[in-house]
A and B are shown apart, each in its own frame.
Chain A
Amino acid sequence: MVPLSWYLILSAVLFSLGVFGFLLKRNIITIFMSIELMLNAVNLSFVAFANYWNMHPRVLADGQAIVPLSGHVFVFFVMVVAAAEAAVGLAIIISVFRTRETLNVDRVNLLKL
């Protein structure tokens, strides 16, 4: 038996590392990968809570029971949105590289070419 807080702490550590990379890295592709890392960290806490509510069923104040599997469905939706985001984001990166010839975000600081 592993305490739920271990999973949440692992999730928080991964999320913090993702924010860290987002702030520190200068390469636009690595920044994008840090965003994916943050999405994964949130998915981990969704799945951990789904298992937790399965083990500890509870009825809400308005009489509705918590459906633990909703956590898995939310992870599914997060993955769909992440896939859509990756497709559009990488297309934007390619078009930025075509016009600026650089992947460094510090050199992409003007709207005007």
Chain B
Amino acid sequence: MKCERIEQLLSPYLEDELNPEEKGAVASHLKTCKKCSLLFSLIKETQESLADIPELEVSKNLLDRLYSIPREKKRFKLRLPNFDFLVRPSLQPALTVATIMLIMISFYFYGPNKSSIDKSISRQIHLGYSKIERLYAKAESFSASLGEHKDNILVSLKNIKLLGGNED
């Protein structure tokens, strides 16, 4: 085997993970190749050095910071107002109407026929206005005609026996 191939097998050889054939090949190569043998001993030293790195204790300052994490989260929690009243049955008709209104308003603002809706609304308003005007005019003419016939009406009323009027 070439040194490059042996290099790849040194770690598994160290951890006894090679099959007997590969293990034998590496062992015999290490006996004859100084370079690979040195590298193998250096890998062993590296592994021992790494394994010998101790665990550090966590400082009190860091522990305090870690313990305060849930509290910090609570502190920044949004406090939303209580909207429970919205689910009361008595409010449901009002909410339904409001929803329908909102849907209609959204149709008006975001629908494709906004200008035609505007026109029809304006026409309806004018029609309504003219109807009121006509009604007002009729009422005026009615009161004027009432004035003309006022005397006749009064005489007629006086002549009604039921109301205690005279015959003449």
**Chains A and B come from one and the same complex:** no
